[in-house]
């Protein structure tokens, strides 16, 4: 892929033109990334109080008893979104699927241990730990070690 940028005061607004010989998955992904808006903050509930969370501060999110929680340090705050919706919003911030009920911030991981049953135990910088099921171990290890996206592997 070739990238050209032309900055000039004659332009009133940002304009993006894509030149390609055919419609490909790469073009489709590029367009979806350009059109997608990433939230700067997420609202979490602590009892009756609404708390603004920066996605970079969240260690992991989990679903339990039909509710979704975001963990920041030792505090779990309820989020009013489904886990898959939250995952879509947080992928640009380095979040990855750990299991059916957990997504985690890979930039907050300090170390991990491979257990005998094939699962991965992930330790966050705050001391919290979470388990990665076998189904997601390979893609998470690639993301941690190689910095690769799941669909690039």
Measure the CA–CA gap between 90 and 88, rounded to whole angstroms: 6
- Asked whether residue 124 is domain-assigned, the answer is yes
- Asked whether residue 8 is domain-assigned, the answer is no
- Asked whether residue 114 is domain-assigned, the answer is yes
107-149 pLDDT per residue, tens: 999 988 888 888 888 999 999 999 999 999 888 888 877 765 5
109 CB neighbour count, 10 Å cutoff? 20
- Asked whether residue 7 is domain-assigned, the answer is no
- Asked whether residue 2 is domain-assigned, the answer is no
Count of domains forming the chain:
1
Q: How buried is 40 (Cβ within 10 angstroms: 0-12 exposed, 13-18 middle, 19+ buried)?
A: exposed
SS3 content of the chain, % helix, strand, coil (to 5): 30, 35, 40
| Domain range enclosing 69 | 42-147
- Asked whether residue 54 is domain-assigned, the answer is yes
Q: How confident is the model at residue 84 (pLDDT cuts 50, 70, 90)?
A: very high
- Asked whether residue 10 is domain-assigned, the answer is no
35-73 pLDDT per residue, tens: 776 678 889 999 899 999 999 999 999 999 999 999 999
What CATH number does the domain containing 143 carry? 2.40.50.1020
Q: What is the percent of the chain where pLDDT is above 90?
A: 43
- Asked whether residue 37 is domain-assigned, the answer is no
Residue 149 confidence (pLDDT): 55
Q: How confident is the model at residue 78 (pLDDT cuts 50, 70, 90)?
A: very high
């Amino acid at each position: 892929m070739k990238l050209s940028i032309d900055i000039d005061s004659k332009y009133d607004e940002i304009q993006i033109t894509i030149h390609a010989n055919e419609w490909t998955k790469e073009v489709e992904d590029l367009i979806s990334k350009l059109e997608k808006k990433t939230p700067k903050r997420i609202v979490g509930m602590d009892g009756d109080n609404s708390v603004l969370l920066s996605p970079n501060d969240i260690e992991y999110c989990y679903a339990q008893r039909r509710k979704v929680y975001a963990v920041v340090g030792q505090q779990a705050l309820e989020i009013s979104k489904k886990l898959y919706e939250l995952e879509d919003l947080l992928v640009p911030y380095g979040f990855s699927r750990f299991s059916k009920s957990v997504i985690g911030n890979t930039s907050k991981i300090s170390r991990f241990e491979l257990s005998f049953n094939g699962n991965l135990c992930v330790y966050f910088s705050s001391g919290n730990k979470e388990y990665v099921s076998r189904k997601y171990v390979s893609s998470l290890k690639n993301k941690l070690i190689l910095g690769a996206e799941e669909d690039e592997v």
